[in-house]
Amino acid sequence: MMHNGKLYWPDTYQKMNYNDEIAKNYDVVIIGGGMSGALTAFRVAEAGYHTLLVDKDTIGSASSAANTGLMQYMSDKLLHECVKDFGPLEAYYFYKASKEGLEDIERLSTLLDSRVNFITRDSLFIASTKRHKEKIKDEFDALKYFDFPVEYISDEQLKGEYGIDKYNALITHEDAEINPFVFVNEIVKYAHNKYQLDVLENTELIQYKKENNQVICEFKNKTIATNKLVMTTGYAKNKITKKYINREQFVASYAVVTQPIQESQFWKDKVMIWESARPYLYIRHVPGNRVLIGGLDETTDKIPNEKHIQKQGNRLIKAFNKLYPEIKLEIEYAYGARFGETKDGKPFIGKIDEDLEVYGLYGYGGNGTVYSSFGSKLLLDMIEGKYNPLSEIFKLKR
């Protein structure tokens, strides 16, 4: 499993189980039913392809159940840092794709059960140290230059309006919070009921090979042929894709969800809060007036144990109380999970295997949800043989 401890989102929703009759041949087979696989399955099935979505466990049960559901167009790698590393055009297209990915999730949420809880929110991005004040200013200038919806917040405003006694900050508008577990399950259910999408749970892909211009997927008890195979196996250490996806860095990340607090105790506009330090602390409201706090990432590929999760949970509360000492919180849910990032800060999206119709979508990074969203669209273009310039930016071999 990708996580340990007590998760919050699965307690909010009863997922559907699938009992589909599985064909011998599909247009597209997708391996991995998390955020990336669910969105890809939706896109591909909506475009009219006979599609199969397979998961070795159940839909949404891996890191997408641990996802804390903050969606922002800003990435962990700031826009001005992307400009320095990738040049202005590529940096701009990366951020634009993220913004559009978020807008697509908003559109899709309107088709789904209201428990998806897509809520448009501002994000408050604060300087963690005095030294980072310059970083905040540079980021504001970069975002403003490219016309992203951003506002500069001075030290005085941060204290006066948001009650945080730190340095300067940014507000980014048009971000959002979501219940990712419900979203993943609902989008799969929607596509399953409306299009030609079959779903197969508790079935692990062991290997694939080429045969007669098709890809043959081998599972424990069955073999399925497909014209295109898409791998969306998340942070699973997967021997199949290990040789291609070799530049990830795994960390353990922690989160707590508290017992409900009074509506009047919330900070201004219930903004999502994060900071310039790496790794960063982040905070959001959860429907039902709970508070979610996450962070304290540690470099390890091990899934943390219960005792350590409790310790990190208490540290998260302490970190929150440094910002808001007057808000008393009680932990109700605490968990730790594996999380992955790429060295250059961009997700991997594209062809995995030059000689085979095998593609991958690995939305590594704190902004994984929006990467899964624009990545699923990019993959559909690739599957349909349409040239999309974004494919150069996110290709696997770089």
Ligand X SMILES: Cc1cc2nc3c(=O)[nH]c(=O)nc-3n(C[C@H](O)[C@H](O)[C@H](O)COP(=O)(O)OP(=O)(O)OC[C@H]3O[C@@H](n4cnc5c(N)ncnc54)[C@H](O)[C@@H]3O)c2cc1C
Binding site residues, ligand X, CB under 6 A: 2, 31-37, 54-57, 61-64, 66-71, 204-205, 232-236, 238, 253, 255, 294, 337, 339, 363, 366-369, 372
- Our CB check for ligand X shows the closer of 345 and 363 to be 363
Q: Which two tokens stand for residue 29?
A: 């087979």
Distance in Å, CB of 53 to ligand X, minimum: 10
- The continuous run of DSSP H or E covering 194 comes out as helix 180-194
- Our CB check for ligand X shows the closer of 185 and 214 to be 185
Find, among 210, 228, 269, 292, the residue nearest to 51 by Cα.
228
CB 11 within 8 A of CB 341: no
- Our CB check for ligand X shows the closer of 61 and 214 to be 61
Distance in Å, CB of 312 to ligand X, minimum: 11
CB 245 within 8 A of CB 348: yes
- The continuous run of DSSP H or E covering 231 comes out as strand 223-231
CB 80 within 8 A of CB 142: yes
d(CA 174, CA 211): 47
Distance in Å, CB of 174 to ligand X, minimum: 15
CB 275 within 8 A of CB 322: no
Measuring CA to CA, how many Å separate 392 from each of 16, 24, 264, 378?
38, 34, 48, 11
List, in order, residues 6 or more apart from 77 with CB less than 8 Å away.
85, 344, 345, 346, 365
CB 33 within 8 A of CB 53: yes
- Our CB check for ligand X shows the closer of 113 and 204 to be 204
Residue nearest to ligand X (CB): 368
Distance in Å, CB of 382 to ligand X, minimum: 17
- Our CB check for ligand X shows the closer of 167 and 186 to be 186
CB 378 within 8 A of CB 394: yes
- Our CB check for ligand X shows the closer of 167 and 284 to be 284
DSSP character for 389?
A: T
Distance in Å, CB of 301 to ligand X, minimum: 13
Distance in Å, CB of 63 to ligand X, minimum: 4
- Our CB check for ligand X shows the closer of 64 and 168 to be 64
Distance in Å, CB of 159 to ligand X, minimum: 26
Residue in the structure block whose two tokens are 């962070």:
295
Find, among 91, 142, 114, 164, the residue nearest to 346 by Cα.
91
Distance in Å, CB of 273 to ligand X, minimum: 12
- Our CB check for ligand X shows the closer of 267 and 280 to be 280
